[in-house]
Amino acid sequence: MKRGAFTMRLKVVLTWKRVAGLAVIGIAGALLVGWSGLVSIAASSGHFAVTRWYLGWTMENAVETQSMLIVKPKDLNLDDPALVRRSAGHYATGCAACHGAPGVPQSPVVKEMTPAPPRLEEKVNEWSDEELFWMVKNGIKYSGMPAWPAQERDDEVWAQVAFLRALPEMTRTEYAELALGGGLADNDLEPGGETTAALDGIFENALADCVRCHGRDGLGRGEGDAEDAFPIIAGQPAPYLYATLRAFALGRRDSGFMEPPASRYPSEVLEELARYFADQPVPLERAGDAAVLGPEAEVPNLAVDPVDDAPVVDAGLASDAMETFLMPLDTPQDEAGVLEGAGDLAYAEIPLTASAGPPSTREDVLELGQRIAVEGFGQRKVPACQSCHSPAGRERNPLYPYLAGQPEWYLSKHLRLWKESRRGGTRFAHVMDEIARNLTEEQIEAVSAWYSSLAKAKP
Ligand code: HEC
Ligand code: HEC
Ligand code: HEC
């Protein structure tokens, strides 16, 4: 057929006025449709097939494009059992409610969401590591999929990605052991994930929540390769633990793992938890070698409870009196981050790295670390770490935590966060700002290696 015969020629001259007019009509139309109240927003009716396809396609393209600039840290190993362990407990309370988990059915409630959250063990293999990272960090708008609570903590998001990678192979028993504190493997797991029974604020329930990650002894759950998944909280001064929990709850210290549990309980319960963990003994092989730590340093466990011994004895950690006690002490060493007196002379003599260039062997690294911890560097305004982090330091101020035996990743991560001014913490956290900024990357690694090596040192 000759097409020309039927062609009706429509000649439209585009002018700015007409384009603007069309835009106005478009906007007015959209407002009218919105105003009419007839748009289907009912989750019950789902989407038309074509809408579902379009939204899914748009989402996949967006994730693919926007994750292109994400670079995996080069020392990251997503098969690391410690990363899987660290993020498993968070999956149980932060994700399983929507996505289910091994042995945990999805609740009938979330199945009625539009879009419904998929079971992730069936989905994760469709995405690259970077794409999973992007979704877990940023969340997905208009779907209910939340963003990571601590945007500063990419290390935590990567740990969650490691967990997602392990998910397809994970059995129900493994999941219960990793995420729910064990002992539940034979029970039927409740649809919708771990219920935080502790919402009623009963101490035992709150403790059971912490124990899923930190263990009843505060030494952190996990054995073998996953042994160092969590920082040790046993035997830290109660005021430090309490003030730290409050800092998480108030968003003054960022952690997607800790902000939710710290916000779940009222301050009186946090106070009780702080006292409980402060009272847990640190076994000698976790606490380090007294000889290495110096004469005053026995075991970095608290011999005297600073709360009970302080003038504010009966006031309690959460009281007003305690808040005053937690205010920065007006001492020069705290403000400047540099101790006066003891140690000053020693600083001047210390070279910045071990005698012959950067340390090469593990022994050199540990030696440099020990020197920083025990003597500091005068020229770089790095006071001896032990001046605050030893038992004597903690007696002076119970907001100075001990470091001996903490996992290496934890120490170096937090020093780097301070270096980038992103750590936050209690009212005293600022004293670490300058100290961390004055440390080189090499020194951070050395001092972290030394403190964590103390855990394994023979008493
Ligand atoms: C309130 C419910 C909810 C919570 C809590 C939640 N998600 Fe989601 N998630 C969703 C929904 C809904 C989608 C589907 C989004 C879509 O298809 O557009 C989704 C999608 C995803 C996807 C992409 C899966 C795919 O193939 O579509 C991943 C990965 C994911 N979530 C991981 C997580 C992780 C990890 C957590 C916990 C840190 C979490 N989600 C917490 C609701 C939730
Ligand atoms: C889902 C796992 C998980 C749960 C549940 C959990 N924690 Fe933690 N906790 C962590 C991780 C991981 C860190 C390290 C955070 C960081 O790197 O900043 C941490 C850090 C802490 C710290 C700071 C340690 C330090 O040396 O500064 C305290 C204190 C703490 N947790 C106490 C608790 C208490 C009390 C509970 C129960 C209410 C609890 N945690 C529940 C995983 C958890
Ligand atoms: C003037 C006292 C002081 C000195 C000196 C000091 N620190 Fe600290 N440090 C603190 C305080 C206070 C905190 C607790 C901050 C908070 O979380 O509120 C802390 C916390 C830390 C933490 C985090 C511990 C945890 O459990 O989260 C690390 C790691 C650390 N310091 C390393 C060092 C190193 C390494 C040195 C030596 C180079 C050093 N500190 C010297 C006062 C000091």
Tell if the pTM clears 0.75, that is, is over it: yes
What are the pLDDT digits (tens) for 416-456? 999 999 999 999 999 999 999 999 999 999 999 999 998 76
Name the residue type at position 436. A
Q: Are residues 379 and 311 in the same domain?
A: yes
Name the residue type at position 346. A
Ligand 3 pocket member 386 (CB < 6 A): no
What are the pLDDT digits (tens) for 98-112? 999 999 999 999 999
By CB neighbour count within 10 A (0-12 exposed, 13-18 middle, 19+ buried), where does 118 fall? middle
Helical axes 238-249 vs 267-278, angle rounded to 10°: 140
CA distance 198 to 204: 8
Is 44 part of any domain?
A: no
CA angle 335, 444, 418 (to 5 degrees): 45
DSSP state of 122: G
Question: Which ligand 2 atom sits nearest the alpha carbon of residue 413?
Answer: 17
* Domain range for 400: 210-453
CA distance 373 to 450: 8
Is 141 part of any domain?
A: yes
DSSP state of 101: B
Give SS3 for 346: helix
Q: Are residues 239 and 177 in the same domain?
A: no
Helical axes 81-94 vs 154-166, angle rounded to 10°: 90
Domain boundary among 160, 195, 230: 195
DSSP assignment of 13-30: ---HHHHHHHHHHHHHHH
- Location of structure tokens 């990605």: 161
Q: Are residues 381 and 320 in the same domain?
A: yes
DSSP state of 151: T
Do the beta carbons of residue 161 and residue 152 sit within 8 Å? Answer: no
Question: Which ligand 3 atom sits nearest the alpha carbon of residue 415?
Answer: 29
CA 415 to chain centre: 14
Question: Which ligand 2 atom sits nearest the alpha carbon of residue 92?
Answer: 1
Of 354, 343, 153, give the one whose Cα is nearest residue 256: 153
Number of structural domains, the chain? 2
Q: What is the pLDDT along the chain (459 residues), one digit of tens a residue?
A: 555 556 667 787 888 998 999 999 999 999 999 999 988 888 888 888 999 999 999 999 999 999 999 999 999 999 999 999 999 999 999 999 999 999 999 999 999 998 999 999 999 999 999 999 999 999 999 899 999 999 999 999 999 999 999 999 999 999 999 998 766 556 666 665 555 554 455 788 899 999 999 999 999 999 888 999 999 999 999 999 999 999 999 999 999 999 999 999 999 999 999 999 999 988 776 665 543 444 343 333 333 333 333 322 233 444 443 333 332 333 333 333 333 333 333 333 344 444 456 667 999 999 999 999 999 987 778 999 999 999 888 888 999 999 999 999 999 999 999 999 999 999 999 999 999 999 999 999 999 999 999 876 543
* Residue of minimum CA distance from atom 25 in ligand 3: 401
Q: Are residues 306 and 406 in the same domain?
A: yes
